[in-house]
Amino acid sequence: MATEPPGAGSEGSDEPASAVGSGTHSPSDLFTRYDEEKDVYHCSYGIPSPALTIWDQEREVMVRLDRDTKQVVGFSIPEFQKWIERYGNEDGSFEIDLPDTYPVEDPDAA
């Protein structure tokens, strides 16, 4: 999955990519946000919703999963500036290859 780094949205616009355009979005839309104060990059597939969060040690990212299907609904990258130095491309872009689902146990199961 390819994404753009923070600030790489539409040229000439200071608004996040999710706010650009007609204001209508399909569930397949990608919403990204960089929290500069906390140095965390967030990406959601579709409108953000409650999810189970797990740590993907191999990719060093927090992955959000749908609680029922375990399908990936987004991810966050803490300490983004360090992460992008390690995993990013020379132009500041990056790609993340996440599986569609993760085999995790339901923490709410009795």
Mean pLDDT by 10 residues, the chain (110 residues): 42 38 50 94 87 95 93 95 96 92 67
Q: Note the pTM of the prediction, 2 decimals.
A: 0.70
pLDDT of 48: 77
Identify the DSSP state of 10: S
pLDDT of 54: 95
DSSP-derived 3-state class of residue 110: coil
Half-sphere exposure of 82 (CA within 13 A, CB side): 8
pLDDT of 107: 56
Query: Angle 10-14-19 (CA atoms, 0-180°, nearest 5)?
Result: 70
Half-sphere exposure of 65 (CA within 13 A, CB side): 23
